[in-house]
A and B are shown apart, each in its own frame.
Chain A
Amino acid sequence: AQTVTQSQPEMSVQEAETVTLSCTYDTSESDYYLFWYKQPPSRQMILVIRQEAYKQQNATENRFSVNFQKAAKSFSLKISDSQLGDAAMYFCAFVKKTSYDKVIFGPGTSLSVIP
């Protein structure tokens, strides 16, 4: 069975600094997606960034980028130039690329941004 681990329950970062959130996963699959989701306080969960396992290049979305290490089964999220609006719970997620399978979420990392 697939598992997703986020070893940092809480993290903090100074505004304008860079922070990296860790995620590791366990799978025997070779074809899958990985995601980072953001859930701001009392607000809807939204997708931050996605990575397809067969793509070597690390995904980037503006200030958000990932370091995808397939062999190590690691998928970290880097937030550059942190802003107050980045304060949220961040969830790492995994799903096999098959028709009918469930998404596996990690337990989440609570990120605080210090002004």
Chain B
Amino acid sequence: DVKVTQSSRYLVKRTGEKVFLECVQDMDHENMFWYRQDPGLGLRLIYFSYDVKMKEKGDIPEGYSVSREKKERFSLILESASTNQTSMYLCASSLLPTSGRSYEQYFGPGTRLTVT
């Protein structure tokens, strides 16, 4: 079974702190994604990466950055946390759709981040 793990289930940080959210997948997937999930807004894509050291902005990249130094690990960084970044953060991974194999996303359990 594919496993996507996230470093923390719950995190409380202060405004202005630098925050690191880590995501690791164990199935050699090319694609990795970071979403934030807010009530009534569904999932919004922050960044995604289709290869090591490659990254693409999603719909709401402002205030975030990412790092992918190894294929299995994709980090989300909040450079200076703000209260409007309080949210649930979901990591996901998938194969490339051109692989001819299934392209569904596999999700981690999520990190509930509270910024006070």
Given the known A-B contacts A35-B104, A108-B42, are A99 and B33 also in contact in the complex, defined by CB atoms under 8 Å?
Answer: no
CA distance A35 to B92 in the complex (A): 15
CA distance A9 to B45 in the complex (A): 20
Set of chain A residues within 8 Å of B41, measured between Cβ atoms: 107
Interface flag for A97 (CB, 8 Å): yes
A50–B104 CB distance below 8 A: yes
CB distance from A72 to the nearest CB of B (A): 22
CB distance from A43 to the nearest CB of B (A): 8
Interface flag for B43 (CB, 8 Å): yes
A105–B110 CB distance below 8 A: no
CB distance from B40 to the nearest CB of A (A): 7
CB distance from B74 to the nearest CB of A (A): 14
A98–B97 CB distance below 8 A: yes
Interface flag for B90 (CB, 8 Å): yes
A46–B107 CB distance below 8 A: yes
A97–B98 CB distance below 8 A: yes
* Residue from A47, A105, A106 having most chain B Cβ neighbours under 10 A: A105
Query: How many positions in chain A have a CB within 8 Å of any CB in the partner chain?
Result: 25
A97–B97 CB distance below 8 A: yes
Set of chain A residues within 8 Å of B108, measured between Cβ atoms: 44
| CB 8 Å contact bits of A80-112 with B (1 = contact, 0 = none) | 000000000001010111111111011110000
Set of chain A residues within 8 Å of B97, measured between Cβ atoms: 33, 95-99, 101
CA distance A103 to B48 in the complex (A): 10
**Of A44, A46, A102, which one neighbours B58 at CB under 8 angstroms?**
A102
Interface flag for A45 (CB, 8 Å): yes
A105–B90 CB distance below 8 A: no
B98–A33 CB distance below 8 A: no
A102–B42 CB distance below 8 A: no
Chain A residues 3-48 with CB under 8 Å of chain B are: 9, 33, 35, 37, 43-47
Binding site for A on B (CB under 8 A): 33, 35, 40-43, 45, 48, 50, 56, 58, 90, 94, 96-98, 102-110
Going nearest first, the 3 A-B pairs with the smallest beta carbon separation are A107-B42, A45-B107, A105-B43
